[in-house]
Amino acid sequence: MKQRNPEIGKGVDWLLVWLYALLVFIGLLCIFSVEYRSGDSVIQSFLGFKKNYSKQLFYFMACIVLATFILLTDSKLFTATANLSYLIGVLLILATFVVGKEIKGSKSWIPLGFMNLQPVELCKIFASLALAKYLSMQETDFAKPKAQMVAAVLAFSPAALSIMQGETGLALVYFSFLLPMYREGLPPIYLIAGVAMAALLVVSLLFSTKTLLIAFAVLAVLFIYFNRRQVKRNNQLLIATFVIWGFCSLFVGVGIPFTFKHVFKPYQANRIFSMVGVDNPFADKNAVETMSPEEARAKQKKNDQQNYNVKQSKIAIGSGGFFGKGFLKGTQTQGDFVPEQHTDFIFTSVGENFGFIGTTLLILIYLALILRIVVIAERQRSTFSRVYAYCVASIFFFHVTVNVCVTVGLAPVIGITLPLLSYGGSSLLTFTILLFILVKLDADRQMVLR
Amino acid sequence: MLVFAGMFFIIILQLMNLQLFSSKYKIMADDQGKFRKVIYPDRGIVYDRKRRPILQNATIYDLMIIPNKLKGVDTFSLCKILQIDTAQFNKKVVEVIIKNGRSRSSVFDGLLSDEKMAMLNEAMYKFAPGFYLQERPVRSYPYDAGGNILGYLSEVDTNFLKNHKNEGYQTGDYAGKTGMERTYEKVLMGQRGIEYWKRDNKNRLTEKLENGRFDTAAIAGQNMHTSLDIELQMLGEKLMENKLGSIVAINPKTGGIICMVSSPTFKPKFLTGADRKRHIQELLLNPALPLLNRSVGATYSPGSTFKTLQALIGLHEEVITTNTQFSCSGAFYGCGGGHPMRCLDFGTFNLRSAIRVSDNTYFANVMQKVITNPKYPNQDSSLAVWARYMNAFGLGHKLGVDVPSEKRGLIPTPAYYDKIYGKGKWNFCNFRSVSIGQGEVDVTPMQVANEMAYIANKGQYITPHLVDSIEGGDKFNILAQYRQQHSAIDIPDSIFEAVHDGMQGVVDGGTGMAAKVAGINICGKTGTVENYFRGIKQPNHAFFCGFAPRENPQIAIMCVVENSGRFGGTYAAPIVGLLIEKYLKDSITEKPRLDRIEQLSNLNLIPSRIYAALRTQDSLRHVKDSAYLAAKGFIKAMKDTLGMDDEDEKDALDKMKADKETAKKELPARDSSTTKPKVNIEGILPGDKKKPETKDSVKS
């Protein structure tokens, strides 16, 4: 063993490992602060495996063992088994349709006895590997639509399956694969179009359809008027303007109402509208009336619950102030006011106990982690490693951003975890594997050209 | 890279917004996460003059329930103890859950009676942990007497909270509503303590915030020593049973009130404990007005008791001397023959004998001489002089007694008659009945007792008061006013001696012989007061006032028995006699005197109109609308009289309203005048102002 030890450590990016350990440690502290009540015997409960923090500690130890194993493996294994593991991942997701256990409204869990496993969560790793593998293949020309299509299918099919199980939050994570694809040469038009669509969506939610149709028309006329010289010279500009104008109008006038009425469930629509702070104008009044009272009440309850979560979350964070109330002194945390505080809303305990300083520091630690991964990505000599690193960075980024945005009320409630901080074996395990495969690949970056 | 940094920058901006720039969340967090628990100190104890506690604290218990811990509770035996059935039990549990939620404890059955408490205490192990008993401090009245003096506590209402901002009251608190509990609220209340607790999402208190660093301790209320003699008070209440009226006794040397009876009264115990609400409703709807403290809150014409004061003025103004004689040939003809004021004793009287037999003609002549005194330019100024005397005797203004809802009474002034008759269009003959204490003159029993103290002291009085001293010092400077001598006009002792002579004659061999106590020289004066209710003549009020012993006055006392009929000497004098005996000799032991007590106590002198009103109320109750209107009108009249606001009266009304919701629609909002014609109970108050011109004289 003693002779091998230096080999494990060889080439390992220790900064990344320390950042990882720091975050897990902060996570343990936070879970502890959520659960601890004065008078509890700390040592006993840490060893008792009854409290969440002691379980999380156990998961962490398991993760250390796993990480060691990953570092001991030959990095070629990941490339070799990428497609196979992807297949297994998808099969596991499919398996949940048969043996899935329903937790919090989504049937995406496989009970393992000692813990519940969420394959969609794990599949992030496999999808990253598979995508990296595909993009690194010699014959792949990513400029071609066919390659783009294959990549998209690889990236988004687990998401599609996940949506079918009612687990929307995790499915959204798969959108983060757009970023590595962009790095690998996906035309920026996709991203620009995506951002524009998002902007259009928000605008269309905020203003009434009529106002927008008039505004678009006025904008189009003004654009043509101010660019009349160019337009005279270039017919295509005129056509493009008309096409964009037509698309926008259709999108706002037909697409949005249709989507909200027929595609989204009413509660989803309400959730989205409540985020931008307006009432759902497409709420079908008749539908509510024809709904049985129990159904209506259940939906109303769910909706209220969402609003309650966000309100409590904002109260907890907001009451922290600049310096916070001090570790274990948060009244909101100690009073169990924030639901799901040990998992999706763990950020609130940071906000309340450590205040603005704590939250900002945490955000900066995450930024450091992500930027470090990007730095690592850029120094890779193989496409596989680079794509994989970018996948990891964007998955982290997506998780952190969405989770924190939810807790501070910038995004609708989407149930995804804060990486490495939130309580939960599945989540911690996934991020550990994700990160340590990268560490291993990085450690072996000099070895071969993959 | 830019995308990452940009997004995180936006997040940090929102964090700044939440954590640094909006205080809203801090307030919301404190609202839900912290709890300010008020710790109530013990209220002060009240002692009587012999240091016997007459108002102190006791503990009774509330049965508390925690709905989510109900599993395994022996519901059956609990229902048996509480005397309810399972359906009622379940209904109550549901009510509690709706009100306070499942995990918070709430009152299941409040203010348990002693028996229920005893039974529950034994079987409590069967009901734990879903139920537990919680202590609750209440006021207790060891002698169960003096309800009108001591007063009671009641939940504060919005008005009270508005008027007592920054004094630490909050909804649900109790504060003194009447009597001493009200006047000395500040003293008795003590200082509340505050504890800060952490509260969890189910509204349970978990632990003290920062180990109680911000807490303040509660300071108990101050104890008070009064001049009250609880035994005399109890005897007075006993003697006034089955009568309407009042007794006030004052120590003339200190102004300390020895007893203050208002009848009908109420058992103060009724207003603490289990059936408090029901009792208050009954009291509020009782046409005999048991909650009214007649001693200070009811006004009567003083009747012949007024003559002593007329004599003082006459002598001091030197319009008569002690030897001046007037004769009565059957009536007072000083105002011509139209409506002569009758007198029953024919003959010629001097001052002493005129007081002794209460001769009307004599005092009509005295007042006529005062008003037509050539010393003063006109009747205007001479009446003003007369009124000034009366004010100096403590009449016509509030005395400032330390009991709430005091009335000022009425002493006519020139301005008063100008208003009635027009300026300069009146003379003595318009108000000649005032000379014998009828007509436009009103006094409270307290004022009469005080006037007796004034006569006993030969020209000075100290404002009557209950509290002599406060343990731990008079922090609110309430008692200073009760140390001051009032002697606005300097009248020589010889004048008082003459009046004392006459008053002693009243008891020794005049109209007030029934007050006689062997071995004690009592000075007294009877009064038989004509009165009207809605313009209809009612049986006379019996008055007796006096002081004893003459040589060294220890007690000045006044008794009124409303509508007793007969003369003041008949019913009021013996009551006063017994009380003086009790007070000066400390106890009554002789058999005939004890029999007299029983006899007087059993004597029923409640006027028939009260019974009639009770009957009307009962029959009205069948027609719910009118009952509601009646109750509303009645309570309004009651409220005006008592000068108090009470949440409980709303409850009384709400209860009736619940019987028939529609009643409210027909109610003209807050217009009592329209409800009046329908309501016959509204005005059964003593001292009805609608008096016609007095035509007949009444001899007493």
A308 contacts in chain B (CB < 8 Å):
none
Min Cα separation A379/chain B (Å):
15
Q: In this predicted structure, what is the pLDDT of residue B450?
A: 93
Q: In this predicted structure, what is the pLDDT of residue A450?
A: 47
Determine the Cα–Cα distance for residues B103 and B226; give it in Å rounded to an integer: 47
Q: What residue type is A141 in one-letter code?
A: D
Chain A / chain B CB contacts < 8 angstroms = 110
Min Cα separation B106/chain A (Å):
20
The encoded tokens of residue B58 equal 């006791």
Q: Which of A122-136, B1-15, B568-582 has the lowest mean pLDDT?
A: B1-15
Please name the member of B7, B26, B209 whose beta carbon is closest to the beta carbon of A321: B26
- Provide the mean pLDDT of chain B: 80
Buried b (16+ CB within 10 A) or exposed e, B359-369: bbbbbbbbbbb
Helices and strands (H and E) in chain B: how many: 25, 22
More confident residue, B410 or B134: B410
A331 contacts in chain B (CB < 8 Å):
29-30, 33-34, 198-199, 209
Q: In this predicted structure, what is the pLDDT of residue B684?
A: 43
Min Cα separation B33/chain A (Å):
5
A356 contacts in chain B (CB < 8 Å):
15-16, 19-20
Min Cα separation B109/chain A (Å):
29
pLDDT < 70 regions, chain A: 1-8, 104-105, 206, 263, 267-268, 270-296, 299-300, 302-303, 448-450
Q: In this predicted structure, what is the pLDDT of residue B357?
A: 82
Class of domain B57-136: alpha beta
B25 contacts in chain A (CB < 8 Å):
314-315, 317-319
- Is the distance from CB of B54 to CB of B46 less than 8 angstroms? yes
- Is the distance from CB of A426 to CB of A415 less than 8 angstroms? no
Tell me the sheet residues that pair with B254.
none
B203 contacts in chain A (CB < 8 Å):
none
What average pLDDT does the segment B478-490 reach?
Answer: 87
Min Cα separation B175/chain A (Å):
33
- Is the distance from CB of B547 to CB of B512 less than 8 angstroms? no
- Beta-carbon separation of B32 and A315 below 8 A: yes
State the complex-level ipTM. Answer: 0.70
- Beta-carbon separation of B19 and A318 below 8 A: yes
Please name the member of A315, A355, A405 whose beta carbon is closest to the beta carbon of B11: A405
Q: What residue type is B73 in one-letter code?
A: V
- Provide the mean pLDDT of chain A: 82
- Is the distance from CB of A357 to CB of A416 less than 8 angstroms? no
Q: In this predicted structure, what is the pLDDT of residue B427?
A: 82
Eight-state DSSP code of residue B320? S
Return the domain boundaries, chain B.
57-136
- Is the distance from CB of A310 to CB of A372 less than 8 angstroms? no
| Positive or negative: CA dihedral B667, B668, B673, B677 | negative
- Beta-carbon separation of A331 and B16 below 8 A: no
- Is the distance from CB of A393 to CB of A369 less than 8 angstroms? no
A405 contacts in chain B (CB < 8 Å):
11, 14
Q: In this predicted structure, what is the pLDDT of residue B470?
A: 92
More confident residue, A446 or B298: B298
More confident residue, B166 or B395: B395
Please name the member of B8, B26, B30 whose beta carbon is closest to the beta carbon of A363: B8
Q: Could you tell me the end-to-end alpha-carbon distance of chain B, in angstroms, rounded to an integer?
A: 111
Q: What residue type is B619 in one-letter code?
A: S
Min Cα separation A406/chain B (Å):
10
- Beta-carbon separation of B15 and A408 below 8 A: yes
Find the closest chain A residue to B210 by CA distance: A329
Eight-state DSSP code of residue B518? T
The encoded tokens of residue B635 equal 């309570």
What average pLDDT does the segment B604-616 reach?
Answer: 80
Determine the Cα–Cα distance for residues B580 and B568; give it in Å rounded to an integer: 17
Query: Is a pLDDT exceeding 90 seen at residue B159?
Result: no
B12 contacts in chain A (CB < 8 Å):
359-360, 363
The encoded tokens of residue B134 equal 């919680």
Determine the Cα–Cα distance for residues B485 and B334; give it in Å rounded to an integer: 39
- Is the distance from CB of B261 to CB of B176 less than 8 angstroms? no
- Is the distance from CB of B227 to CB of B256 less than 8 angstroms? yes
Determine the Cα–Cα distance for residues A439 and A394; give it in Å rounded to an integer: 16
- Is the distance from CB of A348 to CB of A356 less than 8 angstroms? no
Determine the Cα–Cα distance for residues B581 and B575; give it in Å rounded to an integer: 10
Please name the member of A319, A336, A400 whose beta carbon is closest to the beta carbon of B201: A336
- The contact set of B with A (CB < 8 A) is 1, 3-5, 7-8, 10-12, 14-16, 18-20, 22, 24-26, 28-30, 32-34, 198-202, 206-207, 209-210
Using a 10 angstrom Cβ sphere, with 0-12 exposed, 13-18 middle and 19 or more buried, the burial of residue B667 is middle
- Beta-carbon separation of B210 and A359 below 8 A: no
Please name the member of A37, A316, A363 whose beta carbon is closest to the beta carbon of B29: A316
Q: In this predicted structure, what is the pLDDT of residue B151?
A: 86
3-state secondary structure of B260: strand
- Beta-carbon separation of B19 and A405 below 8 A: no
- Beta-carbon separation of A408 and B10 below 8 A: no
- Is the distance from CB of B287 to CB of B634 less than 8 angstroms? yes
Q: C-alpha angle with apex B509: B504 to B512, nearest 5 degrees? A: 70
Determine the Cα–Cα distance for residues A436 and B7; give it in Å rounded to an integer: 25
Interface probe for B, chosen from A332, A375, A397 (most Cβ of B below 10 Å), is: A332
B131: phi then psi, degrees, rounded to nearest 5: -125, 150
Q: What residue type is B180 in one-letter code?
A: M
What average pLDDT does the segment B249-268 reach?
Answer: 90
- Beta-carbon separation of A401 and B201 below 8 A: no
Tell me the three-class secondary structure of chain A, residue by residue: CCCCHHHHHCCCCHHHHHHHHHHHHHHHHHHHHHHCCCCCCHHHHHHHCCCHHHHHHHHHHHHHHHHHHHHHCCCHHHHHHHHHHHHHHHHHHHHHHHHCEEECCEEEEEECCCCEECHHHHHHHHHHHHHHHHHHCCCCCCCCHHHHHHHHHHHHHHHHHHHHCCCHHHHHHHHHHHHHHHHCCCCHHHHHHHHHHHHHHHHHHHCCHHHHHHHHHHHHHHHHHHCHHHHHHCHHHHHHHHHHHHHHHHHHHHHHHHHHHHHCCHHHHHHHHHHHCCCCCCCCHHHHHHCCHHHHHHHHHHHHHHHHHHHHHHHHHHCCCCCCCCCCCCHHHHCCCCCCCCCCCHHHHHHHHHHHHHHHHHHHHHHHHHHHHHHHHHCCCCHHHHHHHHHHHHHHHHHHHHHHHHHCCCCCCCCCCCCCCCCCHHHHHHHHHHHHHHHHHHHCCCCCCC
Return the domain boundaries, chain A.
5-196+339-443, 209-280
Determine the Cα–Cα distance for residues B430 and B343; give it in Å rounded to an integer: 18
What residue ranges in B48-168 does DSSP mark as E strands? 53-65, 106-109, 131-140, 153-155
Q: In this predicted structure, what is the pLDDT of residue A242?
A: 83
Query: Is a pLDDT exceeding 80 seen at residue B533?
Result: no
What average pLDDT does the segment B564-593 reach?
Answer: 86
Tell me the sheet residues that pair with B38.
B194
Torsion of CA A144, A146, A152, A157, to 10 degrees: -170
The helix-helix angle for A293-318 and A383-407 (nearest 10°) equals 100
Q: In this predicted structure, what is the pLDDT of residue B270?
A: 80
Q: How confident is the model at residue B629 (pLDDT cuts 50, 70, 90)?
A: low
Cα–Cα distances (Å) from B667 to B645, B662, B683, in that order, read 20, 9, 19
What average pLDDT does the segment B161-167 reach?
Answer: 80
Q: In this predicted structure, what is the pLDDT of residue B667?
A: 38
Min Cα separation B153/chain A (Å):
36
Q: In this predicted structure, what is the pLDDT of residue B683?
A: 36
Q: In this predicted structure, what is the pLDDT of residue B637?
A: 55
- Beta-carbon separation of B32 and A405 below 8 A: no
- Is the distance from CB of B380 to CB of B427 less than 8 angstroms? no
A302: phi then psi, degrees, rounded to nearest 5: -60, -45
Min Cα separation A52/chain B (Å):
19
A393 contacts in chain B (CB < 8 Å):
4
Cα–Cα distances (Å) from A154 to A124, A129, A137, B420, B684, in that order, read 11, 10, 14, 107, 95
Q: In this predicted structure, what is the pLDDT of residue A348?
A: 92
Number of Cα atoms under 13 Å in the Cβ half of residue A406: 27
Number of Cα atoms under 13 Å in the Cβ half of residue A254: 5
Ramachandran category for residue B502: left, alpha or beta (phi over 0 → left; psi -120 to 50 → alpha):
alpha
Find the closest chain B residue to A330 by CA distance: B33
Strand order from edge to edge, sheet including B193-199: B34-39, B193-199, B205-208
Determine the Cα–Cα distance for residues A340 and B658; give it in Å rounded to an integer: 46
The encoded tokens of residue B640 equal 């005006």
Interface probe for B, chosen from A361, A399, A408 (most Cβ of B below 10 Å), is: A408
B668 cis-preceded (ω within 30 degrees of 0):
no
Q: In this predicted structure, what is the pLDDT of residue B694?
A: 38
- Beta-carbon separation of B19 and A337 below 8 A: no
Query: Is a pLDDT exceeding 90 seen at residue B247?
Result: yes
Q: C-alpha angle with apex B230: B224 to B234, nearest 5 degrees? A: 145
